Structure 1
């Protein structure tokens, strides 16, 4: 063959590759166009809805998390997306939308060059910008992100590294040595441990890399024209995230979520709440949970808001007063602690009756736009920074009186409901005071359907959902997936009912139900809810021992952690353990008087130790030690 004919063949091959590439890009453009049409249809339907809960419909459709970041960077540019203290003695620093996009593009490009395209990459550490950037760099075109719980021990993390098929993990100093050891084991495929706390690549040949050096290299690659990450194709129905459920890792399941799950949830959740461009979300819950990740992190980014990272629970008041945020998501325990401390201070001041009377009047005057209680409550609202306009609670039920208290302060307080498997939100109370139902877990979100399965005589059954936010399934666990997703409906394991106005009411967890001697169901959550109304009970867990061979030991137990500080005030400085027990038992007896016989608590266990909890601050019910003193 002549040189000319060889050259011609090479040219034809090159032209063919260009055509193939062009065809692929055109096919991808068509896929993205269809995705955008589908998301636009959701927004159009929301705008046309007559549902009174829907108040805010001006947002844009988005197809994936990367699309959220890119469009928000275009819209909000130099506005801050994140606020963070990089050193405790320095003020919070701003990181703009434009800066975040550039950083993410650099880190993502470097990750792809490492050979991690399409691979599973873990992210673990405290709530911070580096965590958020790493998450976006993985999910935005590199591979599948696997957020890991920073409270897990080495053996648990090793198990998840194996079952999650991690090829790399992005970590901070706290877990660096742990993952170095995990990498040396022969039961996983971990190739790279990338440390945010490391600033040199001395052990790069061993797959131990500096996160900062990696990002620097990514900037160089982008500057040189590498567009592998920037042009990466993202199909919004492909698996993008694996989230392992809390609990022991032996039973942890990897929840598979895609970009459509997250984006649809973000788009519909904000229709009930007024989130304005420039609002500041205060981030205090673990960011690896979907509640914080979707509803604070991704929602902030979508709405043109700012996410401020709290340094930790012990800094919460200090950081609130420095950041002066507008919105905060938390679990009941955090809001209950604030309420308890505020209530004690009010009682000590001797102005409890005056303040209650003023708030009662203010409830009426607010209807005409006048808040007469504002001057008297300013010291309280200053605890939250002075600009807080909305508190959102999830994760468990909260006493409606506490929610009313915050609303009396002029702060909108609403609760919602969701699960990891639902991305997470399925219901939320609207911000309009006339539409809030404290007894409910919220009004169904747009495009989320609810069904109550296997109803009893009272209409209570298992709560089931379907919609674009429902998970793809559990990773490599078809049996567990088939148990919870049947005929398109996700079975939550929660028991409750749905009102004719589409409010969800939860009575308890299916697996937590106590079967009383008469065969009736007792929901421990209900009894705990009533017990927790008394401030002298700090925490409690109700459980049943129906099958004990000793008949005297059968029945319903309440393991209670008393609030020793309050009890000392109530009973005097020399309070004894016996006095504490008698006081708590009187509280239980008083509750028992209001309950039918089968719901009465038969045994009280006093516990001064902390309960074993999840990082979402829920008591682990099936940890045996949580039952005892």
Structure 2
């Protein structure tokens, strides 16, 4: 049975919130692990609490303001998000791990006048109080003696007086900071329509009955990233329960507790999960003196709670071999591509057609349209941002007419599937005029099971520029497969890859590393 939310006429966050409460009502929207046990909030409670915050802000004449939210994802963060936008304000999510001086800079840059915060980050707030004189109100997620709390807004009986909620679809809902191609933080302005149309496009890619009401997911992505907002809104569209139980440190405990059917993860975690499954299967195989292949599926059930059937991966390049590995244990791994300025989903693999080398099928028109110009991926449609906040110059530089320039390189196949070949800002330009994306070659190298990390740069041989690669081998794989002469086998692997790529893209020199390294930092040294 298809979801009956009539998604195509949803173009504001309050409309979505009210539709969810009407359609799912007493279905559990959020589960929170606490010291008292599991606390459950229904979709109706979520709407009511969010609207109490909305009315509380309106009663205090806080409308059309920029409101920062600082903290980890939790129930308070979620209702603050819906409440702030429903009152006609703009949510400015802030990375809690930034230095206080950087947070101050971003708050001033976005003209923030109100801060919602988790009291665990009180030190940041105290610094902001002293240095950001434009902030006129601080709202804590927890009850405090000296500050208004979010529960003062929720429990304020005066809030029950209904205010008319009339949000324009083109009204800015969020200012989300993203690093542009010059390495500067820019506040991308996303409207209600941008965010809602991104949700519509994603649902149309996946199918309206892809996830089931009552299934669970676990929220672990940092909420200052749009991928986390995508997880929250997409899960709620399907009536999925969002479970909250702390950070990454409790991730595997929470999987066993909440038994999720769907997860939204970055590739690093996707890979770590599979390694954990293999490690436990390998240990059991030694104890039972049997083949590890016989235990992989059983251990995946143990590690992942037994209900997991879908993982969405985004935020970075996904090693294609993982798609096959997860398929072998009955889990669909869907790779996607997004960018903050596009709200964020541009493409996602569809469950009925998965191409493991691709970042997926492009979201449908009129929400999203992609073209390739000079190898660069350009996007237009109703998901594309309104511009960078108070920065007309950067906004102008980011667009080619009505097309947003992503800075990523790629191509589109006959099935409208998008492929990423590199980043424009990381191009290597050789003296013979050839332009090369190091990321494209690194991706090929890292697909080999013996190569864990590769960084391609310009080297020198016989006074000529050549492509060189710094390589950190997968020592665990080598040990498991009895490979002793790792250097020779890595060289052989590189030679095999060189045979299937153009001559000017071939790696002519390799450096084997015994310690892991950070590609981003080292790339600056090898420019």
Which TM bucket (shorter chain)? 0.7 to 0.9
1:521 maps onto 2:435 in alignment = yes
1:485 is matched with 399
Q: 1:192 to 1:57 in 2, by over 3 A?
A: closer
Correspondence for 2:217 among 272, 281, 292: 281
The 8 Å contact of residues 539 and 560 in structure 1, kept in 2 or not, is answered as: yes
Distance 1:352 1:500 in 2: 48
The 8 Å contact of residues 106 and 221 in structure 1, kept in 2 or not, is answered as: no
State which drifts further: 585-594 or 396-405: 585-594
Render the CA deviation track for 1:393-446: whole Å, top value 9, x for unaligned.
Answer: 1222323221012122222222111111111111111111xx221121111222
The 8 Å contact of residues 277 and 296 in structure 2, kept in 1 or not, is answered as: no
Question: Where does 1:199-218 land on structure 2 (aligned, <5 Å)?
Answer: 199-202=143-146, 208-216=147-155
1:184 is matched with 130
Distance 2:150 2:390 in 1: 30
Secondary structure (helix, strand or coil) at the match of 1:253 reads strand
Give the CA deviation at 1:276: 1.7
1:260 maps onto 2:208 in alignment = no
Q: 1:564 to 1:64 in 2, by over 3 A?
A: same
Distance 1:152 1:248 in 2: 20
1:86 maps onto 2:34 in alignment = yes
Secondary structure (helix, strand or coil) at the match of 2:34 reads coil
Secondary structure (helix, strand or coil) at the match of 1:439 reads coil
1:245 is matched with 178
Secondary structure (helix, strand or coil) at the match of 1:85 reads strand
Q: 1:116 to 1:249 in 2, by over 3 A?
A: farther
Give the CA deviation at 1:540: 4.2
The 8 Å contact of residues 183 and 191 in structure 1, kept in 2 or not, is answered as: no
- The structure with the largest helix share of the pair is 1
The 8 Å contact of residues 76 and 150 in structure 2, kept in 1 or not, is answered as: no
The 8 Å contact of residues 278 and 296 in structure 2, kept in 1 or not, is answered as: no
Correspondence for 1:418 among 300, 321, 338: 338
| Aligned residues: CA RMSD | 3.3
Secondary structure (helix, strand or coil) at the match of 1:342 reads helix
Q: 1:321 to 1:601 in 2, by over 3 A?
A: farther
1:606 is matched with 513
Render the CA deviation track for 1:504-562: whole Å, top value 9, x for unaligned.
Answer: 1111111112123432222222222233234555444434479xxx9869644544555
2:157 is matched with 220
2:228 is matched with 292
Render the CA deviation track for 1:584-603: whole Å, top value 9, x for unaligned.
Answer: 66765665565555331535
Secondary structure (helix, strand or coil) at the match of 2:301 reads helix
The 8 Å contact of residues 5 and 23 in structure 2, kept in 1 or not, is answered as: no
State which drifts further: 346-355 or 417-426: 346-355
Distance 1:569 1:404 in 2: 19
Secondary structure (helix, strand or coil) at the match of 1:245 reads strand
Distance 1:149 1:249 in 2: 20
Q: 1:180 to 1:443 in 2, by over 3 A?
A: same
Secondary structure (helix, strand or coil) at the match of 1:446 reads coil
Secondary structure (helix, strand or coil) at the match of 1:465 reads strand
Render the CA deviation track for 1:380-400: whole Å, top value 9, x for unaligned.
Answer: 133211111211112223232
Give the CA deviation at 1:128: 1.1
Distance 2:321 2:451 in 1: 16
Give the CA deviation at 1:301: 2.0
Distance 2:511 2:479 in 1: 20
1:42 is matched with none
2:257 is matched with 322
Distance 1:553 1:603 in 2: 16
The 8 Å contact of residues 443 and 503 in structure 1, kept in 2 or not, is answered as: yes
Distance 1:566 1:413 in 2: 22
1:507 maps onto 2:442 in alignment = no
Render the CA deviation track for 1:276-301: whole Å, top value 9, x for unaligned.
Answer: 2212122222122111212x111122
Distance 2:2 2:409 in 1: 31
Distance 1:553 1:150 in 2: 46
Distance 1:561 1:421 in 2: 33
Secondary structure (helix, strand or coil) at the match of 2:416 reads coil
1:105 is matched with 51
The 8 Å contact of residues 277 and 299 in structure 2, kept in 1 or not, is answered as: no
- The structure with the largest strand share of the pair is 2
1:450 maps onto 2:338 in alignment = no
Q: Find the structure with the greater CA-based Rg.
A: 1
Q: 1:567 to 1:246 in 2, by over 3 A?
A: farther
Stretches of structure 1 that go unaligned for 5 or more consecutive residues are 1-54, 203-207, 359-374, 455-460, 612-618
1:160 maps onto 2:106 in alignment = yes
State which drifts further: 493-502 or 534-543: 534-543
The 8 Å contact of residues 217 and 242 in structure 2, kept in 1 or not, is answered as: yes
Render the CA deviation track for 1:77-102: whole Å, top value 9, x for unaligned.
Answer: 12111122133xx5432111111112
1:464 maps onto 2:378 in alignment = yes
Give the CA deviation at 1:305: 1.5
Distance 1:514 1:381 in 2: 44
The 8 Å contact of residues 253 and 475 in structure 1, kept in 2 or not, is answered as: yes
Structure-1-length-normalised TM-score: 0.74
